[in-house]
Amino acid sequence: MAIIPTQNKYPDRAGYLGLDTDRNVLVCMSDGILQDMTNYTPNSTPEGLVNVKDFGAKGDGVTDDTAVFQQCLGQDNVNIYIPNGTYFLSDSISIGNNINILGESWNTIILFQNSGRGFKVNYKSRIKFCNFTISSFNFDKSWRDDYTYKRMFALDNGSDIEFNHINFENINGYAIYAYHVNNLTIQNCNFYNGGTSYVMIYGTTGRFMHNKMYADIDFDNSRFIRQIGDSNMLYFDNESENCGIGSTSTQPEGTFGLTYMITGGRAILDSNVDRNPLIANFGFAGDAYDCKAVNNDFTSRPGYHCFWIESGISKQHIISNNTFHTGGFGIGDNAGTNVIVSNNLFLDVDNDYLAFGGKCKTVTFTNNSVTFLTEQDFAMSMPNKNTTDVQVIISNNRFFNAKAIIRVYNMSGVTPNIIYNHLVTNNIIISTSTVPIGIRHAGSTTLENCIENNNIFVQHTVGE
């Protein structure tokens, strides 16, 4: 039995409350015995907690329970228990310091009618939310506001705030908006049609782990995770699907439709699974720096990239040991000083390729395996930058169904047509072509300090 402590870390003491993740039920210590809370009568309260119904909350889905919730949750140093029921709240609730808020189960449903904030946490610390469902009273799948101020949880300059086993379902606006929060933890939560952006991370540090994020194909949302400011976050072991598929955003493409949109600070994406986003599985852009994507399994739509990198201040981005399905990538203008793409699998790349932009400087593409669904004229593409301030290393990769490893083309207005500092070596390229090549370029282009050697070209016939 796996138990996650939610209040009092010592399971042998009265007042201990934990979440049994194997059975998805709360357990508590009472009379020296760790008991399953499903055995409690509906009106009972675990030892050491304050029941909102004891203060007059009805939980009938009709009565406005705002005043009771504010009375209970606005205090400091309390542990609040919310039994199963539907609690209608018409206005924001301000949360106190050092408080635990525990629901009986996901059948503890909180409905917010307020068009602005739901739970407000301003300059507070040591807060835990656990084991309930939260939704918008007036949820509308077609509702959108790219500059929304609707926030179910509005966190402002707090610390040590945790969300554990919360069901965010059918939400207008943001599910969680974290502004300058230190040590934020969001884990074991479910986001289903969970907001225009499910989570906004702004100048925040912490972790986002073991969560699930989904959306209906007609739900109008822009992204699941957006990180901005000087944040530092770990995204680990999350599962997601259909980000932005129903979006009607009129913003420029690439500003929406990404499951993980990292435009500020550092981020590590580790061991996540994401499928079928509108534009891409993730992007490192804007002021993002020193980001990593490792051990992930990402599937894009045909004709779309799995990831984008457009970050101008990068010291280094690392993309390693991932499996990418269907899509390639775009490493675009201002991608930074050093981008490393290594030891990845690109499987069944469909109507897409691996693209480098005009201003990325140092790119290392090594030990990857790339398989195209149908044969392509080239695997990779890069414009001629006509500058010595660039280094491209493509080595020890395997390309299947491509006639050339990389195409270098002339950018409009760039003269003379000189390609500098490309190392294309020790690759295997498998193609039906009788004349496969490494670097493909216009006849008038000159190669300087470019090395193309030790590549192995294998011809195959259709059906092999």
pLDDT tens readout for residues 119-148: 999 999 999 999 999 999 988 888 777 666
394 or 2, greater pLDDT? 394
460 or 16, greater pLDDT? 460
Which is nearest to 306 in space by CA: 257, 373, 237, 265? 257
> Can you give the pLDDT at residue 181?
98
State the total domains in the chain.
Answer: 1
Q: Give yes or no for residue 33 having a pLDDT over 50.
A: no
Q: Is 290 helix (H, G, I), strand (E, B) or coil?
A: coil
User: Sorting pLDDT into bands at 50, 70 and 90, what band is 30?
Assistant: very low
User: Sorting pLDDT into bands at 50, 70 and 90, what band is 382?
Assistant: confident
Residue 401 structure tokens:
């169904």
Domain membership of residue 33 (yes or no) is no
- Residue bearing tokens 């994020």: 213
Say how far residue 54 (Cα) sits from the centre of its chain. Answer: 39
Domain membership of residue 97 (yes or no) is yes
Bridge partners (DSSP) listed for residue 153: 119, 176
d(CA 319, CA 306): 12
Residue 70 structure tokens:
């504010």
> Can you give the pLDDT at residue 167?
97
d(CA 13, CA 15): 6
Domain membership of residue 82 (yes or no) is yes
> Can you give the pLDDT at residue 352?
74
Q: Following DSSP, what letter does each residue of 183-246 receive, concatenated?
A: EEEEES-EEES--SEEEEEES-EEEEES-EEE--TT----EEEEEESS-EEEEES-EEE-TTTT
Domain membership of residue 21 (yes or no) is no
CA 439 vs CA 70, 332, 357, 405: distances in Å: 67, 19, 16, 6
Domain membership of residue 10 (yes or no) is no
> Can you give the pLDDT at residue 324?
97
d(CA 77, CA 79): 7
- Asked if the bond preceding 42 is cis, omega within 30° of 0, the reply is no
Which is nearest to 199 in space by CA: 262, 284, 141, 286? 262
Residue 184 structure tokens:
């934020």
Given a contact cutoff of 8 angstroms between Cβ atoms, the answer to whether 153 and 118 are in contact is yes
20 or 403, greater pLDDT? 403
Can you give the CATH number for the domain in which 280 is found?
2.160.20.10
DSSP-assigned letter for residue 403: S
CA angle 174, 176, 182 (to 5 degrees): 145
Which is nearest to 291 in space by CA: 271, 310, 323, 265? 265
**Counting Cβ atoms within 10 Å, is residue 464 exposed (0-12), middle (13-18) or buried (19+)?**
exposed
Domain membership of residue 27 (yes or no) is no
Domain membership of residue 446 (yes or no) is yes
Which is nearest to 227 in space by CA: 169, 282, 278, 270? 282
d(CA 164, CA 128): 8
422 Cβ contact partners less than 8 Å away, ≥ 6 residues apart: 392, 394, 406, 408, 439, 447, 450, 451, 452
Which is nearest to 112 in space by CA: 71, 157, 168? 168
Domain membership of residue 137 (yes or no) is yes
Q: Give yes or no for residue 319 having a pLDDT over 60.
A: yes
> Can you give the pLDDT at residue 10?
47
209 Cβ contact partners less than 8 Å away, ≥ 6 residues apart: 185, 186, 187, 188, 234, 235, 236, 237, 238
Per the structure, the complete domain to which residue 111 belongs is given by 50-459
Q: Following DSSP, what letter does each residue of 131-146 receive, concatenated?
A: S-EEEETT--TT---T
Residues 182, 187, 189, 195: is their CA dihedral positive or negative?
positive
Given a contact cutoff of 8 angstroms between Cβ atoms, the answer to whether 372 and 349 are in contact is yes
d(CA 167, CA 181): 21
Which is nearest to 348 in space by CA: 328, 368, 378? 328
Phi and psi, residue 386, nearest 5°: 50, 45
Given a contact cutoff of 8 angstroms between Cβ atoms, the answer to whether 371 and 401 are in contact is yes
> Can you give the pLDDT at residue 360?
64
DSSP-assigned letter for residue 411: P
User: Tell me: the pLDDT tens digits for 62-90?
Assistant: 999 999 999 999 999 999 999 999 999 99
CA angle 185, 254, 345 (to 5 degrees): 75
Q: Give yes or no for residue 388 having a pLDDT over 70.
A: no
